[in-house]
Amino acid sequence: MVPVPDLVKSMDRHGIDRVALIARLSPPLELGSMAYKISMSVFKRVIHHEQSPLIGLIRKGYAASVNPTGRVSIMGKKYPIFPQPDNDLTVETCAERPDRFYGWAVVNPRGGADPVGEIERCLRIACMIGVKAHPYWHHYPVSRLTDAAALCESLKKPMLIHLGLGENGDFRLLPEKFPGLKVIYAHAGIPYPNSVCAYARERKNVYVDLSSSAFMNTRAADQALRRAGPDKCLFGSDGPYGHVRDRGFDFGFYQKMLMPLSLSGPELEKVMGGNLLRIIGG
């Protein structure tokens, strides 16, 4: 979606030393329509307010947008979900520019590659920092990740997980089964952001990221920070999805989302990079 030199230009423009890359799980999504923006505005308002009378309906819509056979539907348009994302491209890019990029290795228990083997293969590269799993789009219960989690715990590598619903969204299982494993829940832990953020504050090994314009805004980030605390929240973009123009990507959009928040200098430093460096031992 965006050539590597253009990513680096945006990083330089916004004072970002490094970003962590993840292999794409789908073709580029069309997210710019007015109808999409309105629907996602409603989604974000409700999903981060778990006492809303609309929360059940919103969660049903969240679950229904993904077909178990491997497609995601956005505003009526269907996109294939790649069962085995291309980790090799992430590894190659990170190896070429280890001064600017970290990488996550994507695993899928329902994909073509054995998750344990994929972790062992990809994480031999020093700049590959951990494992990304997507029980929501790849449609499997979190319990299918136990072998991968055990290996990550032994390697002292974190897992970044995008939760689904029900058993696909069991956010307590891995942190409690593997207390030495650091787990980061994407997008403040949607579809259970309030519960996950409160859980992150309680559990030493649980964190959340604040990424994605589809799931987060300034208000949602503020709620996540209040519930989880600045020691447990990580800046992220989920880009280039959502903010690509002329094959360029603007990291500044996501930085501006956090600027209105009343974080002290040390707290902002933690959120913008310090917490991640602590998690990966950097």
Provide the pLDDT for residue 251. Answer: 85
What is the spatial distance between Cα 241 and Cα 238, in angstroms, rounded to a whole number?
Answer: 6
Query: What is the rounded CA–CA span in Å between residue 118 and residue 86?
Result: 11
Asked, as a colleague might, if the bond just before 240 is cis with ω within 30 of 0, I would say yes
CA angle (238, 116, 149) in 5-degree steps:
65
Angle of helix 55-64 versus helix 34-47 axis, rounded to 10:
130
Residue 184 phi/psi, 5° resolution?
Answer: -110, 125
pLDDT, tens digit (0-9, with 9 covering 90-100), for 115-166: 999 999 999 999 999 999 999 999 999 999 999 999 999 999 999 999 999 9
pLDDT tens-digit map of 72-115 = 998 889 999 999 999 999 999 999 999 999 999 999 999 989 99
10-55 tens-digit pLDDT: 899 999 999 999 999 998 887 777 888 888 899 999 999 989 999 9
Establish whether the linkage from the previous residue to 191 is cis, with ω within 30° of 0.
yes
Better-predicted residue by pLDDT, 281 or 206: 206
**Mean pLDDT, to the nearest integer, of 218-245?**
90
Within 10 A of 282 (CB to CB), how many other CB atoms are there? 11
User: Residue range 246-275: average pLDDT?
Assistant: 88
**Model pLDDT, residue 282:** 56
Q: Are 96 and 5 in contact (CB under 8 A)?
A: no
What band does 242 get if pLDDT is binned at 50, 70 and 90?
A: low
14-36 per-residue burial string, b: 16 or more CB within 10 A, e: under 16: eebebbbbbbbbbeebebeeeeb
Tell me which residue of 199, 133, 197 sits closest to 168, measured CA to CA: 133
CA distances 13 to 10, 96, 98, 226, 242, Å, are: 5, 21, 19, 29, 19
Class at the top of the CATH hierarchy for domain 4-280: alpha beta
Report domain extents, the chain: 4-280
Rounded distance, CA 250 to CA 21, Å? 15
The per-residue pLDDT for 223 is: 96
Does this model's pTM top 0.85? My answer is: yes
| Beta bridge partner(s), residue 132 | 106, 160
